[in-house]
Amino acid sequence: MDYMKQALSLARLAVGQVSPNPAVGAVVVRDGEIVGQGYTQPPGLWHAEIMALRQAGEKARGGTLYVTLEPCCHHGRTPPCTEAIIKAGISEVHMAMIDPNPLVCGKGIDGLEKEGIRISYTGEHENEAREVNEAYLKFITTGLPFVTAKFAVSLDGKIATRTGDSKWISGEESLKYVHQLRYTTDAIMAGVNTVLADDPRLTYRCGVTGGTVRKQPLRVIVDCMGRTPLTAQVFDKPGEALLVLGNSVSRESKGAFAARGAELLELPSKDGMVDLPSLLRALGEREITSVLVEGGGTLLGSMFDNGLIDKVIVFIAPVIIGGAEAKTAVAGRGVERIAEAMRLHRVAVEKFGDDVMISGYVRR
């Protein structure tokens, strides 16, 4: 059995639920048998290694630990995992990757080796481990969230008709997957034009029409001029809404938004758009590690123009909308020559019903 692959499957269960901590999976093996498994619990609760060791109990002694990230060796909300590994009597540790967190990087390995524990750092499934924690890795090294742009387009590249109608371009299977994306992200971002056109809730729901869950991503509405209607569903429970305003919005409007329950963030603005790099820094300061940008074209265009997108997920539906005035997914300045176009790498293609999803990472 591929024990590291099993640890990775456990780690995926924690993605989006344990920020700002990494999503880690751990498996304890003794005499060829899995005796303990675990994955990271929400902040303040046990890490993956502790969960697996507690399940293994005395069977952990002399066993091998497979873990997707270097075990922590510092006191945070919980004690160091390295201490628990040593105390449990683990004889060997396999890890998929080293933790770039300066508090851990290499120190976890050193602490275990000093106690005579064999370290088999072979980078087992390292690429998969990095993808599971792509948001954490960016956040812990830059202080900024990992930003994914998501949109659905017709075959001719439109996101809405010339009248603004956009429901629904993509099919039910694609919509279900979008809710999985929302479940694994810390914040969902949309521009005011999307709110005006669609009045979205921007919540995670269990299935397209299913119920909500307790943990909801932060809803970030970028609204330079304060045009969001007070009746907008993004202000409703469950979850919290952060309304990002330019510095010219009146005190009366800000008071009305606050009374509606929105948290307000005022940022410098220019040409009708708030300072987006400052917005990402502000989100990083509140330990938001991942952001899913769901549109519309003006916001996405500005995000791409500013080089703020890390990953792109596009659903292409087999429909033709047409119309010179129909809306496109990415507005902004764009590029002047094809040679300057932003190109993706590590591209993947999947099918959801009749839709095709293309995803990839922005090449830096």
Question: Hey, which residues are catalytic here?
Answer: 49
What gap in Å lies between CA 242 and CA 235, rounded to an integer?
9
- The two beta strands, 218-223 and 187-191, are parallel
What gap in Å lies between CA 13 and CA 15, rounded to an integer?
6
79 φ, ψ (degrees, to nearest 5): -65, 165
**Which residues have CB under 8 Å from 161's CB, separation 6+?**
321, 323, 326
Of 20, 74, 18, 78, give the one whose Cα is nearest residue 46: 78
| Cα end-to-end distance, the chain, whole Å | 37
Q: Which residue has the tokens 């932003």?
A: 342
Cα distances (angstroms) measured from residue 77 to each of 8, 226, 272: 23, 39, 42
Residues 206, 158, 242, 233, CA torsion sign: negative
What gap in Å lies between CA 235 and CA 233, rounded to an integer?
5
CB 314 within 8 A of CB 169: no
